[in-house]
Structure formats: C-alpha cells, structure tokens
Chain A
Amino acid sequence: MFKFFIGRLLVLIPTFIGVSIIAFSFIRLLPGDPVMLLSGERVMDPARHAQIMHELGMDRPMVMQYLSYIGGILHGDFGTSIVTKQPIIQQFFALFPATLELSLCAILIAIVLGIPAGVFAAIKRGSFFDQSVMGAALVGYSMPIFWWGLLLIILFSGILRWTPVSGRIDLLYFFPSVTGFMLIDSLLSGQKGAFTSALSHLILPAIVLGTIPLAVIARQTRSAMLEVLSEDYVRTARAKGLSPFRVVGIHALRNAMIPVITTIGLQVGVMLAGAILTETIFSWPGIGKWMVDSVFKRDYPVIQGGLLLIAGIIMIVNLIVDLLYGLVNPRIRY
C-alpha cells in the first residue's frame, strides 16, 4: 500500500510538468496580449507597449519565461496578476473555499439522489420508474448549465420568491471570513439568521452544478447494479434466503460501487468546469468566475496559476479515489 502510494506520488511529477507546459503555452496560443488590453479602446504607443512587455518579462523567449515561472513555483511564488496586481496564490486561496463549498454541496446532492435512483432503476428495470429516471437523467445531462441556472432563478427567485437570486449570503450580514466556508462562518458569527441566509443562497447553485453529476452517477449506478445483479453470487445469496435488502444493499451495491466511485472522482473535474458557468450566473465569488474574467483580460499569470492549482487538486482527488478502491473492495490489493 505504502509502495503504491509512493509510486503514484512519483507519477504526479511528470504529470504536473506536463500540465504546467500546457497551461503555460495554451494561453499564449490565444491571439491578443494583456498589455494591449490595459489601455482599453485607446491605442497604446508601441514604444510604451514594448516597455511594459519588458517590465513584465514578456519580451523574453518563451523557454526562458517558462523556466523562470517554474523556478518561481518551486519557491511557492505563482506570480502576480497583471490586472489586480495581487499575488495569485493569495487570490486563489481567498476564492477557493467558495468553489469548494459549492462543489461539495453539489456532489453531495448528486450522490444522495443519484445512487438510490440508480439502484432502484436497476431493481425495477424496464418499469415506468426506470424509464422516467433514465429519461430525466438524459435531460439533466444534456441541459446547458447557463440556461438551466437562469430558468431556476426566474422560477424560484423571480416568480415564487423562495430563494435569493445570487450571491453567497444576504449583504446585510457582514462578518470576517474565518474559514472561507460561508455555512461555517455564518454559524461562527453568531448573527441570527445568517446560517439560514447562507444556506438559502447555496441551494440553487448547488442544484445547478449538481445536475450533470447527478445524471451521470444515476446512470452509472444503474448499469453497474444491473451487471452485478446478474452475477452468480447474487443468485446464490437470493437462493439461500437473504432478505432483498441484504442482497441488494450489501452484496450487490458494494461491488457495484467501484465504477461509481471512479465516476464520482471524474465528476470533480467536470464540476470545476461546470463551476465556471454556475459561478458566473449566480455571482458566486469562486475560482471559476475568477478564471473566466482572467481569460477575457488575458491575465496570463492568473490563468496559468489557476490551471496549475486546479490540476493539482484534481490529481490529488484522483489519488484519493485510487486509495478508496481498496477500502470498498478488499480484494483489491496494491
């Protein structure tokens, strides 16, 4: 197990280098440069443009720029935003808790609803329930997030007035950020109604962000369960008179969970992509919105740093998923 863990950690190094090269070169492939955008519609004098490019070190050969960038990262320096002039790492960790809180809630919704839906659909294969769950999953999976988000806002916030339109908490509440997680901070603040306000702000974006993972998890659970339910040992379990709950809930489900856990792990990446749109619609101050704004402003250091940090997080999540396999299925040994 330990050997496996170290092996996986070592594999992360070339992966990380690969990601850093892609992150670094990808943004530079886009036309346009950040300095030109600093002056808006007003055209910048070419001499001045060259001078600012020089000051930012962007007139050096790409390889040199890359090496000095990697050198900085090894010292924990991810650079400074061209636009806000603030250190990337500071901005990232100020915004990341918001994205994490949203993503955790979204995945929680997806798991809590998706797995039971998939299991029941598999047990009642071909039934009306199965057809409707799988139909709904297909719709959920195909729904453009942006449109879905606006639709929910118009219905629940606009017409029914059940939930607030956007933001993380009612602006009348103001307290220092301790953990960065609004649900926890609102409880710590001791202000009456703050937690409820934070929770009501979280519901809609979490549902929107959780929709695609929910659909994917439900479909994956169903197909994995169908496969397991046709296995000999399930038939044996049934034959020896075990209750349907024990057969499905313990013998079948546990084995069906392996591909489901893989899917959940992969959904983390999908969710970070979804967070970009969800955060933009709900004015949710997280890294998704931050990265989108930076792409429009060609803020190279933010995009590079943001991509690297996100890639790092996804790699760690994948590692955890690999380790989880062993816990779920004792037959898997490293």
Chain B
Amino acid sequence: MKKKMAFAAALLAATVLGGVANAKTLVYCSEGSPEGFDPGLYTAGTTFDASSRTVYNRLVEFKHGSTELEPGLAESWTISDDGLEYTFKLRQGVKFQTTDFFTPTRDFDADDVIFSFERQLKADNPWNKYVAGASWEYSAGMGFPDLIKSIEKVDDHTVKFVLNHPEAPFMADLGMDFASILSKEYADKLQADGKLEQMNQKPLGTGPFTFVAYQQDAAIRYKANDSYWNGKPKIDDLVFAITTDASVRRQKLEAGECQIYPYPNAADVQALKDNKDLNVEEQAGLNVAYLAYNTLVAPFDKAEVRLALNEAINKKAIVDAVFEGQAQVAKNPIPPTMWSYDDSIKDDPYDPEAAKAALEKAGVKDLKMKIWAMPVSRPYMLNARRAAELMQADLAKVGVTAEIVTYEWAEYLKRSSDKDRDGAVILGWTGDNGDPDNFLDTLLGCTAVGGNNRAQWCNKEFDDLVKKAKQTSDQAERAKLYEQAQVVFKKEAPWATLDHSKVFMPMSKKVVGYTQDPLGIHRFDNVDIAE
C-alpha cells in the first residue's frame, strides 16, 4: 500500500510540478507558520527555517551538524591584531535566484553586504522601518548597533567591518540568521515600485532553494536553486506543510503525507523508533534548563545555602519524569556539545541528609520559598510544572516549604528578570550561535543583571574571566578562561542546573543525508530521497 502511494505520489509530482521527469519532492511537516520571510525582523526558529536557511546565505556559515564556522558568501577573512577590523574577501560569481517576481542582472557583491547590515543599524536608512513596527530584535540583542562602528566597501569584492571594541564572538554572530545577505538590486527595484513590504513576503537570496509561493498557514513551496554556488540541492522541490499539532505531524509522517518532521511528543518517540519504516535521528540539544535563585535576596545570597538546596534536588528523577529519560542531567551552564565544556567538574550530589545539615549549619531554619514554573513547554523544559512539583517534594524532605507560582508567558519573562523577584525561577536557553559567550555572559554576566541574568548574580571573578574571553581572539585561550569560569560557577551555584534535552527528528527511511544541527535549525540542502 505504502509503495503504491509513494509511486502515485512520485507520478503526481512528475506530472504536476512542471513535468520534470523523476522530480524529487521532499515534504517537511513544519511546526508553525513563518512570521515573515525577512530573517532580520524576527527571532523564531520556525521563521528562520523558512527563510534564512532555505533562501539566504550569510558571510560565514555553520558547518552541517556543528557549531563550527566555514566560509559562506565570504571566501576568506582577516582580523586585525587589535581585534577591531574584520576584512572579508567575498566569493565571486555568486548568483541571486531568478524568480517570477524578479530577475537579477548582476552577481552578489559588497553593496549587498552593506545594504543587509545598514538597514538594521541606521535609523535613517529607508529600509529601517519598511514595515510597520519593524524592530531588528536579534541585531539589537547581539549588541550590533553599539558594536559596529562602520561597514566599508574596500572594493566590489571586499568589505571591512570596523568595531568599537574587540568582540571575539563576532564571527559566530555573523553566522546567525539575522545576518543573512539580501539583494540590494531587488531592494532598489521594490523601492522604485513602492512595494517595500514585498521584501518580507517574497524573499530572494543566494541560498540553496528558490522561494515559489506561500499559502498562508498551509504550505510554503520552494524549488532547488539550479545555480546555487555550493552545488544544486539533490531534491527538486521542497514543501513545508504547516502542521501545528505534534500528534497530527506524526500521523502525517506515518501516512506518507510528509517525509520528515521536527519536535515529536516525548511520549511518541519510542513508538516512532519501533516503526520499521522510519528513522529517528537524535542529538543533544544546544540548550540548558535551570532553576535560578535570586542571589540578591537573603538567604539565597549565601553560596552555601544555594549549594545545599542544589543537593536537595533529585535531578535524575526530574529528567526521568519530564523527559521520559530523553535528556541528560546538567552539571554546567553550557551544554556538553559546546567547546570549552568542562567535563572534569563534579556535579552536586543528590544528598538530602547533607543538604539538611548544610542548611542548619548556615543557620537557615523553616525556610519558605517560591518556585516559579514556566507556563509553556520549551525544548529544554517540556513540563515545568511537573519539575516544580518534584522539586517541591524534594525540598520538603530537607525542611524547606516551597510554593509553586506561575504567570502568563510574557509576564513570566518580564517579572522573572526583576531584581527584587521573590523566589527561584525555572527557565532555560537555547544557543544562538554556538559560542560559550552566548550562555556565560548573556545569562550570567554582570551586565545582564536585571535582564537575562535571572539569578541576578554578579560575581567579579566569573565576570572578569568571561569578559576577558570575549576580548581574546585565540579560541584555545578562550576555552581555558571559560573552563575556569565554569569552576567558579559550580562553586557559587547561582543556579541549580537541571538538564540538557535531546532533540529528535523522525523521518522516512527514504530520506538520506539529513544532518541534525545543534543550533536547532532545519536545513535540507544536503538531503536526498532514495528511489
């Protein structure tokens, strides 16, 4: 039956989609609708999968399946000794896609690079506010407006970025989705026609797939970019079938209506693995979930109290209950797949007796505290309420009374960063660019207190190490600094590190060449469908 269906599907694909003999179509059951197609405007992975990872390229790219960088639209680059000037030699002969809405007349060059960044940085650029409420969230989040002094065109194929201060993670930032390169020629045409908003609806770039059509909330269609500089993709057509419910995505995969889908329900993973027609790829996610104490409020301002509470929490039980074992207990604030991860660090043992004694020694009696449980499920924490309940029971064993509180998600995010917040908060993070700085400074640095630093923890020793690493360009040297920072973190325990979850990708056995990316992006340029 399945064979018959696949044959019929292939036959239909061949006759319907342009009449190409043996056209290969990959249908990806995506988890949601893209917010738009200009990756600079958004922060959601769903949007990036549909825009930056299909249609666009960046100066540097993350290697498939890793957080290592490789040349993208820039063939090579040099960094000045003071770490302030980055000069990129651009790849020549790169063509923008030809579509039914635009035919480019020139190849990719320095003007495209400058356009792509300046529209995000300069308020007087006509593209800065080209759609209502345009805010360049990632560019702002990575500090680009303060970091970048200027972007200069040295010649048609050379661009120089001048920074205000040295910033080692800058190269990794350029591999991120918001740093995608758009066509200035296309932009000029849209501007001349007074159709600026089309940039966010009909994308055009240099990437592996050419945008064909978006049927709102239903499907996105792409075709392979025949003139892709990195080699034409092996499939001919790519379709994103938007399917928001994970149970329905599973049904669609099993019925052959799509060949691959992301974010399966944890409860479905075993059944999917048992299905002989399917493969389930798994990978450690580049994420961490934590319980952040408010280190500004007594008695959580004392490291010994925080350490004692960490010892009281049975993390293994949480991982088993919430993830059905599909995650690993976290001991460091960065995930194990990230460079500079210090595996020699010993985790706080689960030892209620020792915890009780330590609390008594610290003079803490009849402690009452709040645990904040997130109202939503995230890849790093599928069920915060359940996790909080388990912690509550664990803490009760050492004489600590914990009350579970929660708020609506936006409110939760806002209130949890208040400096005078009452209680310890469950939250987490998924890496943006594979750089340890993106965890250690973003979540635990002194400048992030009152913001992303939910522990409100400002430790000079830790902060100096992280800041120094940020300004050092040698990766081996940076790794050493980050390892030391992890030791300080463990000693000071601003968080109880909870878990690093695994990410699963179920697919038909016919799908070959798919590599999972630690950054959580979904790319199909290397994918093929076996006959």
Binding site for B on A (CB under 8 A): 30-34, 36-45, 48, 52, 55-56, 80, 82-86, 91, 94-95, 150, 153-154, 157-158, 161, 164-168, 170-174, 177, 191, 193, 280-283, 285-286, 289-290, 293, 298
Contact = CB atoms under 8 A, between A and B. Distances in A.
B7 interface: no
B414 interface: yes
A54 to B, nearest CB: 11
B83 to A, nearest CB: 25
A241 B147 CA distance: 95
Closest 7 CB pairs of A and B: A32-B410, A285-B217, A85-B131, A285-B218, A43-B451, A31-B411, A80-B132
B125 to A, nearest CB: 16
Interface stretch (B87-95, B240-248, B355-363): B240-248
B90 to A, nearest CB: 30
B409 A174 contact: no
Contact of B12 (A44, A91, A95, A170): A170
A38 B244 contact: no
A52 B248 contact: no
A200 to B, nearest CB: 12
Nearest to A79: B132
B213 A158 contact: no
Interface string B201-215: 100000000000101
B410 A31 contact: yes
B241 A167 contact: yes
25 contacts: A33-B410, A36-B414, A40-B137, A41-B413, A41-B430, A43-B413, A43-B417, A43-B448, A43-B451, A45-B451, A56-B133, A95-B217, A158-B254, A166-B248, A166-B257, A167-B241, A170-B12, A174-B16, A280-B244, A281-B245, A281-B248, A283-B217, A283-B242, A283-B244, A293-B32
Contacts of A85: 36, 41, 131-134, 197, 200
A80 B255 contact: no
Contacts of A280: 244-245
A283 B218 contact: yes
Contact of A290 (B217, B219, B252): B217
A289 B132 CA distance: 23
Interface SS of chain B: helix, strand, loop or mixed? mixed
B251 A86 contact: no
A52 B135 contact: yes
Given A173-B16, A193-B12, 4 more contacts: A33-B410, A40-B44, A55-B129, A153-B248
A273 B63 CA distance: 46
B328 to A, nearest CB: 21
Given A285-B216, A285-B242, A298-B410, A172 B251 contact: no
A45 B221 CA distance: 37
Residue in A37, A91, A282 whose Cβ sees the most chain B Cβ within 10 Å: A37
Given A172-B25, A174-B221, A165 B257 contact: yes
Contacts of B9: 172
B298 interface: no
B345 interface: no
B123 to A, nearest CB: 10
B124 interface: no
Interface string B40-72: 010110000000000000000000000000000
Contacts of B255: 157-158, 161, 164-165
B219 to A, nearest CB: 6
Nearest to B430: A41
B215 A172 contact: no
Interface in B220-269: 221, 239, 241-245, 247-248, 251-252, 254-255, 257
Interface residues of B, number: 63
B137 A38 contact: yes
B133 A55 contact: yes
Contacts of B244: 280, 283, 289, 293
A26 B348 CA distance: 47
B425 to A, nearest CB: 12
Interface string B8-47: 0100110011000000010100001101100001011000
B408 interface: yes
A191 B429 CA distance: 48
Nearest to A35: B135
Nearest to A56: B133
A165 B241 CA distance: 12
B36 A84 contact: yes
Contacts of B33: 293
B251 A153 contact: yes
B498 interface: no
Given A43-B452, A52-B133, A290-B217, A166 B243 contact: yes
B457 to A, nearest CB: 15
B248 A94 contact: no
B442 to A, nearest CB: 8
Contact of A157 (B217, B251, B442): B251
B251 A165 contact: yes
A82 B133 CA distance: 7
B427 interface: yes
Nearest to A83: B35
B161 interface: no
B141 A39 contact: yes
A154 B251 contact: yes
Nearest to B218: A285
B140 interface: yes
A70 B251 CA distance: 44
B530 interface: no
B254 A171 contact: no
Contacts of B427: 41
Given A56-B133, A172-B16, A38 B43 contact: yes
B77 interface: no
B325 to A, nearest CB: 25
B251 A171 contact: no
Contacts of A166: 243, 248, 251-252, 257
B407 interface: yes
Contacts of B129: 55
A86 B196 CA distance: 12
Given A31-B407, A42-B43, A56-B133, A165 B452 contact: no
Contacts of A174: 16-17, 213, 221
Given A37-B410, A171-B239, A48 B216 contact: no
A298 to B, nearest CB: 6
Given A36-B414, A94-B216, A161-B255, A84 B133 contact: no
Given A166-B252, A170-B12, A283-B244, A84 B27 contact: no
A24 to B, nearest CB: 18
A193 B248 CA distance: 24
A184 B166 CA distance: 61
Interface string B374-418: 000000000000000000000000000000000111110110010
B495 to A, nearest CB: 15
Given A32-B410, A172-B9, A285 B245 contact: no
Residue in A43, A44, A158, A289 whose Cβ sees the most chain B Cβ within 10 Å: A43
A297 to B, nearest CB: 8
Given A39-B141, A85-B134, A172 B13 contact: yes
A158 B135 contact: no
Interface string B420-458: 000000011110000000000010000010011000000
A187 to B, nearest CB: 16
B168 to A, nearest CB: 20
Nearest to A289: B217
Residue in B243, B409, B410, B452 whose Cβ sees the most chain A Cβ within 10 Å: B410
Interface in B118-132: 129, 131-132
A302 to B, nearest CB: 12
